[in-house]
Structure 1
Amino acid sequence: MDLTLDLVIDIASGVSFAIGGIFLLIGAIGMIRLPDVWARIHAAGIIDTIGAELIVFGMILQAGLTQTSIKLVLIGLFLFVTSPTATHAVANASFTAGLRPLGLRKNQASDVLGEERNS
């Protein structure tokens, strides 16, 4: 019975590592190929939040119920809170610096920003 439980844990952690690695790979390709800051911020959010969390979850499964798994849970919670916060900070800094999405027309930005229309 113990061998079966170990096998299930190994399979679950392997699946978690594989899916997390796929998300990391897709996000990394997105960081290179996407055209503007806004799309790249989205790719970075995928890497930080989902990819890293799945890999940490796979490590928790491999560690079992030990002090290491408690530390990994704390690391996962830290990533879960700080990654979206950092992504929001970068997006806010980009918006404040005047960067706008590529397809956005000037009259669309004025509705969002409260700027005067030059028509």
Structure 2
Amino acid sequence: MILLLSIIITITLVVSCAVMIIASILSKKTITDREKNSPYECGFDPKGSARIPFSLRFFLIAVIFLIFDVEITLILPLAYILHLSNIFSWLIAGTSFLFILLFGLYYEWSKGALEWVD
């Protein structure tokens, strides 16, 4: 019984090591290209200097996207609880929430934060 268990463990170890070695050999890239090997983040070169000024417009667009992304997760439950709550309180809560978001969007638009090109 112990001999059979040790043989099974040995075979499992050899097969798993062989699969890992074959996978690492096959996964090597044959052509090394600097552009293909570098990750793309935020529109700047990650291998360059870290002291390059960061685009504030890109940051503002990303923050606005996150705000509206979270807004969707907050508005979706409103449709689900429509039949469970008072229609007047539901309408006031939903309208005030949308009004605050639209006012913030208008404020960003009036300040020029949404204009990507000068």
TM-score by length of 1: 0.38
- Structure number with bigger Rg: 2
More helix as a share of residues: 1
